[in-house]
């Protein structure tokens, strides 16, 4: 760990002091937890009846349905955003000025606009022209959410993939052209495979963001996990009030578990890629933070 350099290996005095701090710190953390539990108890949130609702089959079903719906949105939006990301990355690296400019404009615009704004505008648009839209019209909130997520995350994925393509040594491209490969062959057989392989951890970390952002469906009243849970909580009355606290804690735990699992996958792939001797260096499993295309 890099931090150990910030302080010396403790001597006898420092050990005593650290021990005192450890006790004080533990007490503070425990105190915080105890205070939270105490307040919850005072407000009747720890009563057995409140938590007993999770033994109810209906409650379980609606939470399960919520998880399934969230995962469905995530799966569709995740796959579509990766496809869009690939297309936009290729378009942005194109030799044709118009294609390159169009892709750049699209990426810069939709990355700068809050996702919620896009989703809400799409939802409103779909609701307005509901009848003429066929499949989309039947499930406006779903498609608004999916397309909004796809557009935004596709733009971010495009930037990530482009960074990967740019990391491939120039000599490889020249060698490929010298062998007589076409432009499309160089892209599909040489650049993209290496870019995707090296950027996979970062791309999965962006998928974690996609997963978290599916919760924006709550705002356009789409019944993903958060909205389903909230609706359910407001339909149940235990001890004279809605068990929102309990439901929020459970739903929060589900989200954290899902995101941690996905982030764990990213870290695992990163570590696995680091062991390999071939190819370009694997990127870190962190969320991409490219602000503007200056990199």
Partner 1 sequence: MNVLLDHLAEFREGFIGTVLLTLASGLLAMVLGVIIAGFRVSPVPPLRFFGTAWVTLFRNTPLTLLFLVAWFVVPVIFMPGLSPWAKALMALGFYTSAFVCEAVRSGISTVPLGQAEAARSIGMTFFQTLRLIILPQATRTVLPPLSSIFIALTKNSAIAGAFSVTELFGVQKLLSDQGFAIAWIFLWVALGYLVITFTISGLFRLLERRMGVAR
- Contacts with partner 1 by CB under 8 A lie at 2-3, 5-8, 10, 18, 21-22, 25-26, 28-29, 36, 39-40, 43, 45, 109, 112-118, 120-121, 124-125, 128, 208, 212-216, 218-219, 226, 230, 244-245, 248, 251-252, 255-256, 259-260, 263, 289-292
CB of 134 to partner 1, least distance (A): 20
Q: Which is nearer to partner 1, 101 or 124 (CB)?
A: 124
CB of 207 to partner 1, least distance (A): 13
Q: State how far the Cα of 175 lies from the Cα of 151, in Å rounded to an integer.
A: 35
**DSSP H or E stretch at residue 210:** helix 192-213
Q: Which is nearer to partner 1, 157 or 214 (CB)?
A: 214
CB of 195 to partner 1, least distance (A): 21
Q: Which is nearer to partner 1, 83 or 109 (CB)?
A: 109
- Residue 100: phi and psi, rounded to 5, are -65, -45
State the Rg of the chain over Cα. 25
- Under DSSP, is residue 241 helix (H, G, I), strand (E, B) or coil? strand
**How far from chain centre, in Å, is Cα 44?**
34
The separation between the first and the last C-alpha atoms of the chain, rounded to the nearest angstrom, is 29
Q: Which is nearer to partner 1, 117 or 189 (CB)?
A: 117
Contact between 241 and 49 under an 8 Å Cβ cutoff? The reply is no
Q: Would you tell me how many other CB atoms lie within 10 Å of the CB of residue 16?
A: 11
Q: State how far the Cα of 248 lies from the Cα of 242, in Å rounded to an integer.
A: 11
CB of 182 to partner 1, least distance (A): 37
Q: Which is nearer to partner 1, 17 or 183 (CB)?
A: 17
CB of 247 to partner 1, least distance (A): 9
């Amino acid at each position: 760990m890099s931090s150990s350099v910030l302080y010396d290996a403790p001597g006898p005095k420092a050990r005593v002091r650290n021990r005192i701090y450890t006790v004080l710190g533990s007490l503070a953390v425990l105190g915080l937890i105890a205070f939270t539990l105490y307040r919850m108890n005072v407000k009747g949130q720890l009563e057995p009846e409140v938590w007993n609702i999770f033994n109810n089959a209906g409650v379980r079903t609606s939470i399960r349905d919520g998880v399934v719906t969230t995962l469905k949105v995530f799966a569709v939006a995740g796959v579509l955003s990766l496809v869009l990301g690939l297309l936009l990355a290729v378009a942005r690296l194109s030799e044709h000025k118009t294609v390159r400019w169009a892709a750049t404009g699209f990426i810069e615009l939709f990355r700068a606009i809050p996702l919620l704004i896009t989703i809400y505008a799409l939802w409103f648009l779909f609701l307005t022209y509901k009848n003429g839209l066929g499949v989309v019209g039947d499930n406006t909130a779903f498609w608004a959410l999916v397309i909004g997520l796809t557009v935004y995350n596709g733009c971010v994925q495009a930037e990530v993939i482009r960074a990967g393509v740019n990391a491939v040594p120039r000599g490889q491209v020249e060698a490929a052209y010298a062998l007589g490969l076409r432009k499309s062959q160089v892209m599909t057989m040489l650049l993209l495979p290496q870019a995707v392989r090296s950027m996979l951890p970062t791309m999965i970390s962006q998928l974690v963001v996609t997963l978290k952002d599916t919760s924006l469906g709550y705002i356009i009243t789409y019944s993903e996990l958060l909205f389903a849970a909230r609706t359910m909580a407001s339909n149940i009355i235990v001890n004279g009030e809605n068990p929102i606290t309990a439901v929020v804690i459970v739903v929060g735990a589900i989200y954290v578990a899902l995101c941690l699992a996905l982030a764990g996958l990213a870290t695992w792939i990163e570590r696995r890629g680091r062991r390999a001797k071939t190819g370009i260096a694997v990127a870190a499993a962190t969320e991409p933070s490219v602000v503007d295309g200056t990199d």
